[in-house]
Structure 1
Amino acid sequence: MAHKIAVIPGDGIGPEIVAEACKVLDAAAAKFGFELEYTKLLMGGASIDVNGVPLTDETIAQAKASEAVLMGSIGGDANTSSWYKLEPQLRPEAGLLKIRKALNLFANLRPAYLYEELKAACPLRDEIIGEGFDMMIMRELTGGLYFGARETSIENGIRKAVDTLVYNEEEIRRIAVKGFEIARKRRGKVCSVDKANVLDSSRLWRAVVEEVAKDYPDVELSHMLVDNCAMQLVRDPAQFDVILTENMFGDILSDEASMVTGSIGMLSSASLNETKFGLYEPSHGSAPDIAEKGIANPIATILSAAMMLRYSLDLDEAANAIEAAVRQVLKEGYRTGDIMSEGCTRVGTVQMGDLIAARV
């Protein structure tokens, strides 16, 4: 029986990089004996052009009927595209926020992995990089400061703004469970990051995470204050396996972690709900300036597809094969323009997809 995958090519370079990811997925399916059934959906600017809105209810329903969603990049050039003359709720990115809410995607996964062949792009010194690093930032995506009550007012002629940081124990528990489950698929270590020396929300966070940890005796749990974690990411990134944290801290730390890898074109991501369902997409944008030129780097999307196999379909062996294929292609010296270095062979989007698919 075929696994049902919703595919949202998106805008800009999205259709190009998604096509290469599907090519690599098909190679993995042929090798490991499973089937994938793709349903192509419109979202973002592509949906605006056809439907007048960035996301339709029909698209949401079709996404929900699938086992996972593989998505390219959404959006265009805000300075030139007609999409950005529309009201904010009708612009491409509004579709992304809406689908995350509709699918209850509360757990955001951002891996940060340093490839041996790309060490020169890392801004950290060689003695800090050492043998490299491989971490997963696990960010709670639908609660906390970004979703709490907010108000701007004037009191006695002075402007005042209030943002409320709220978490309940169930919101914390479900992201913690995801964190521990994913640690089991990795190296079995969770570092929970909070600000428990100051914030009540963080003290609750730490207490609930410790309760969840009792169900995972095979996973090592540690705690770290967020300011120390920010420092440790540039001091010794190799110490981390899974970093589990709340929304705002995760927003900041995931960007810091991605920076130390040296190339955003390599960064995959996933957003999961309480089941195995997830939405998988590259961390980079739609890059409309290079769309349809055949030069975009498809690796982030290909690695996102590998995450889909691992976390939504439990096809770990196939996911491992795709990740190994990416490493092999880089080891052989093939590069797209964004990661090109002296002595390497420059290839385009389709060529990179072909090379990786051939090595799965």
Structure 2
Amino acid sequence: MTQTLLLLPGDGIGPEVIAQARRVAEQVAPDITLTEGLVGGAAIDAGGTPLSNETLEKARTSDAVLLGAVGGPKWANVERIHRPEMGLLNLRKELDVFANLRPAYCFEALVDASSLKRDRVEGLDLMIVRELTSGVYFGEPRGVDTDENGIRRGYDTSIYTAPEIERVTRIAFEIARGRDGRICSVDKSNVMESGHFWRTEVTALHEAGGSGVELTHMLADACAMELVRNPKQFDVILADNLFGDLLSDEAAMLTGSIGMLPSASLGGEGVAGLFEPVHGSAPDIAGKGLANPCAAILSLEMALRWSLGRPDAADRVMAAVSKALKEGARTSDLGGSMSTQEMADAIIAGL
């Protein structure tokens, strides 16, 4: 059967980096059908909504979705429920891609580009598994209003159910078994009821079905400190939506540049995975040809590996990125002067 990869370039530097990922996809998997759609601000401009029913249906019927980035100052004053970011959040929610995989590995050629000393990051290879469709980003009630004393307030609710914790934890167990077999579950169980519940449920799941996996727990603030003190102590970090968001961006900087970090969002059987670079829309450099396409190309690598069942093609992409970096290919975020397209040219040459 023909496989379909849906490309959603989005906003800011999204179209620039997805265009280069498309070139790589055409080289390593020419039989995959590539389609495109609109999301975020681009979708607002075209149809008044950050995620149209047409794009959502395309995503549901695709084998994988590769997204660029959403958001920018152009839409800063749009009502919150209609902002570009809601297109991404709603896409995640509607696809029910509940497990966000954010690898942080340091290519040998970029060891000295990290903000940490060589001995701290050389050989770094960790995976953050973040719960993606619940927690404080989606909990109710939420809002901005005035209390009974006339005082203005804003509030969000952090809430998790046992099944939501169970399904992401089981994926983390599976991933750990394919790596070094160690999981550090992160929470704020000392001050948050939802954090205490998270720790209790993860512990019970490990006791019931965590054979072959070593489980430890750490408070989120301590984990943030340890990521810059001794990041190589970690193998798999399991975290809720909020803490996973924060810690994965911190981990991204260990690798030399946030422009190098891909991500995957996975759901249940038969659900299209959603793959996207971590870096965001970077409106300050949009349209200038300065963006690093590596994160988008490595997100394609994850799509080939995790949703499309093309491990050989994924291995080729990873090897080509490594080869290009080893030979000195660098965009400005890595201390070089290559344009977005020139960096992709070097990677394609490495294929």
With structure 2 as the length reference, what TM-score do the two structures score?
0.89
After TM superposition, the structure 1 = structure 2 runs for residues 161-310 of structure 1, keeping only pairs within 5 Å, are 163-213=156-206, 214-275=208-269, 277-310=272-305
Alignment CA distance shift 1:290-1:200 (3 Å): closer
CA distance in 2 between counterparts of 1:104 and 1:251 reads 17
CA contact (8 A) 2:256 2:334 kept: no
Secondary structure (helix, strand or coil) at the match of 1:285 reads coil
Secondary structure (helix, strand or coil) at the match of 2:102 reads strand
Identity %: 53
Q: Which residue of 2 aligns with 1:15?
A: 15
Report Cα offsets for 1:219-263 as digits up to 9, x if no partner.
332222223212211111011121001122222222221232331
Alignment CA distance shift 1:52-1:189 (3 Å): same
Q: Does 1:141 align with 2:135?
A: no
The Cα shift of 1:154 comes to: 3.6
Q: Could you tell me which amino acid in structure 1 is paired with residue 40 of structure 2?
A: G
CA contact (8 A) 1:74 1:92 kept: yes
CA contact (8 A) 1:111 1:269 kept: yes
Secondary structure (helix, strand or coil) at the match of 1:282 reads coil
Q: Which residue of 2 aligns with 1:115?
A: 107
Report Cα offsets for 1:154-204 as digits up to 9, x if no partner.
455766666433211101001111212222343332211123344443333
Alignment CA distance shift 1:330-1:197 (3 Å): same
Q: Does 1:336 align with 2:331?
A: yes
CA distance in 1 between counterparts of 2:177 and 2:313 reads 18
| Residue number among 323, 344, 351 corresponding to 1:353 in the alignment | 344
CA distance in 1 between counterparts of 2:212 and 2:311 reads 19
Q: Does 1:95 align with 2:87?
A: yes
Report Cα offsets for 1:110-168 as digits up to 9, x if no partner.
22222222223322233433x33111111112222333324655455766666433211
Alignment CA distance shift 1:55-1:145 (3 Å): closer
Alignment CA distance shift 1:206-1:20 (3 Å): same
Secondary structure (helix, strand or coil) at the match of 2:276 reads strand
Q: Could you tell me which amino acid in structure 2 is paired with residue 9 of structure 1?
A: P
CA distance in 2 between counterparts of 1:238 and 1:294 reads 34
Alignment CA distance shift 1:37-1:187 (3 Å): farther
CA contact (8 A) 1:174 1:274 kept: no
Q: Which residue of 2 aligns with 1:4?
A: 4
Gaps of 5+ in 2: none
| Residue number among 118, 130, 134 corresponding to 1:126 in the alignment | 118
How many residue pairs get aligned? The number is: 347
Q: Which residue of 1 aligns with 2:35?
A: 39
Deviates more, 1:105-114 or 1:237-246: 105-114
The Cα shift of 1:330 comes to: 0.5
Alignment CA distance shift 1:19-1:198 (3 Å): same
Alignment CA distance shift 1:165-1:22 (3 Å): same
Secondary structure (helix, strand or coil) at the match of 2:289 reads coil
Secondary structure (helix, strand or coil) at the match of 1:48 reads helix
Alignment CA distance shift 1:242-1:159 (3 Å): same
The Cα shift of 1:267 comes to: 1.4
Secondary structure (helix, strand or coil) at the match of 1:108 reads strand
Q: Could you tell me which amino acid in structure 2 is paired with residue 2 of structure 1?
A: T
